[in-house]
């Protein structure tokens, strides 16, 4: 994720770069998608040569110290690559996505958002990405996020950024409440081929940009949050609040299982989140209906 925040990236022939490791992708998507023991297949998916073909800001150097020194000298003595605007980055990443029609609206995602939004809010969805706005109160906070309980891939990350830009284009500095209930980033061959990390950080950069433009940005976590997705949602938010019944993890549960097997995993509690700064506050218990409703389905 740090690499995708940089203006330029220089890869070696032996670089491997991805949001999820090969073994996690195999465990979650199947060996037919990626055999983690097949070094050649892993290299084709996330190796330096593959990554260097993704765009004009990617460079490939031979796997030698002198080659990297030469690239560093070249970059230091040439004019700095101008920063892409958020709009330019957004357009570039849209072109990399496939041309298939967007996912249909998720009625379940809308139902989940209605559990969180105040009465009188109109809720809509683009696939798993949900948004709610007040129908009657100008300047009321807008809710936007993912409440599917599933994984967030490149398309959903781009759509999240698109929703934020649309909110900003509406012309007033509406407060934005990001909402997150997702197990983490998608561990699929398709998403990794697109360089999922870049889409996740693009969403985070867009959220930070709208905050810089005057929108207050806060994060509510009523359910699951883990890994890179938690970082992307939390980093631009001025405060993070969660239901006591939420599940916050460093890695998605399936990834933890892949790494530690059947070893018991200690779950942190709400007080630990507060003490360590993972969250700033707990959501009002009146919102506990969100978890209760999901448990009953």
Element (H, E) at 166: helix 154-169
Domain ranges in the chain are: 3-83, 107-295
> So what's the pLDDT on residue 189?
92
pLDDT at 101 over 60: no
pLDDT at 68 over 90: no
Question: What proportion of the chain, given as a percentage, has pLDDT over 70?
Answer: 89
Question: Mean per-residue pLDDT for 69-84?
Answer: 77
pLDDT at 105 over 60: yes
Kindly write down the DSSP assignment for every residue of 68-93, as one continuous string.
HHHHHHHHHHSPPPPPPPHHHHHHHH
| Nearest C-alpha neighbor of 41 from the set 18, 67, 62, 12 | 18
Q: Flag the least confident range among 65-69, 207-211, 258-262.
A: 258-262
> So what's the pLDDT on residue 6?
86
Interatomic CA distance for residues 230 and 78, integer angstroms: 37
**pLDDT tens-digit series, residues 169-201:** 988 889 999 999 999 999 999 999 999 999 999
Element (H, E) at 152: strand 151-152
**pLDDT tens-digit series, residues 190-236:** 999 999 999 999 999 999 999 999 999 999 999 999 889 999 999 99
CB 282 within 8 A of CB 244: yes
> So what's the pLDDT on residue 297?
42
Question: Mean per-residue pLDDT for 239-244?
Answer: 93
Fold adopted by 107-295: 2-enoyl-CoA Hydratase; Chain A, domain 1 (3.90.226)
Interatomic CA distance for residues 134 and 215, integer angstroms: 16
Interatomic CA distance for residues 20 and 25, integer angstroms: 7
pTM of the model: 0.90
CB 9 within 8 A of CB 197: no
> So what's the pLDDT on residue 161?
97
Interatomic CA distance for residues 185 and 160, integer angstroms: 14
Neighbours of 21 (CB within 10 A): 17
Q: Flag the least confident range among 89-98, 181-190, 255-264, 280-289.
A: 255-264
| Nearest C-alpha neighbor of 180 from the set 152, 155, 158 | 152
Pairing of strands 129-134, 121-126: antiparallel
pLDDT at 265 over 70: no
Measuring CA to CA, how many Å separate 273 from each of 132, 194, 265? 27, 33, 16
Query: Mean pLDDT across the chain, nearest whole number?
Result: 87
| Of 152 and 24, more confident | 152
């Amino acid at each position: 994720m740090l690499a995708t925040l940089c203006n330029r990236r220089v890869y070696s022939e032996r670089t491997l770069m991805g949001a999820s490791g090969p073994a996690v992708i195999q465990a979650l998507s199947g060996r037919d998608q990626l055999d983690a023991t097949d070094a050649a297949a892993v290299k084709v998916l996330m190796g330096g040569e593959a990554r260097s073909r993704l765009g004009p800001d990617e460079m490939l150097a031979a796997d030698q110290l002198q080659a990297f020194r030469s690239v560093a000298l070249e970059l230091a003595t040439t004019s700095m690559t101008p920063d892409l605007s958020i709009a330019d980055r957004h357009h570039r990443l849209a072109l990399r996505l496939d041309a298939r029609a967007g996912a249909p609206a998720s009625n379940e995602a809308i139902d989940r958002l209605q559990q969180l939004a105040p009465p009188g809010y109109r809720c809509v969805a683009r696939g798993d990405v949900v948004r709610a706005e007040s129908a009657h109160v100008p300047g009321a906070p807008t809710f936007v996020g993912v409440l599917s309980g599933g994984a967030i891939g490149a398309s959903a990350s781009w759509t999240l950024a698109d929703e934020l830009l649309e909110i900003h284009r509406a012309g007033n500095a509406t407060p934005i409440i990001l909402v997150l209930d997702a197990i983490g980033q998608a561990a699929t061959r398709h998403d990794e081929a697109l360089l999922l990390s870049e889409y996740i950080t693009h969403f985070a950069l867009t959220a930070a940009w709208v905050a810089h433009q005057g929108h207050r940005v806060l994060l509510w976590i009523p359910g699951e949050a883990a890994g890179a997705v938690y970082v992307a949602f939390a980093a631009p938010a001025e405060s993070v609040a969660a239901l006591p019944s939420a599940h916050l993890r460093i890695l998605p549960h399936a990834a933890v299982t892949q790494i530690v097997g059947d070893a018991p995993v200690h779950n942190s509690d709400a007080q630990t989140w507060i003490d360590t700064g993972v969250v700033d506050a707990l959501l009002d218990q009146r919102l506990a209906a969100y978890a209760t409703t999901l448990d009953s389905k």
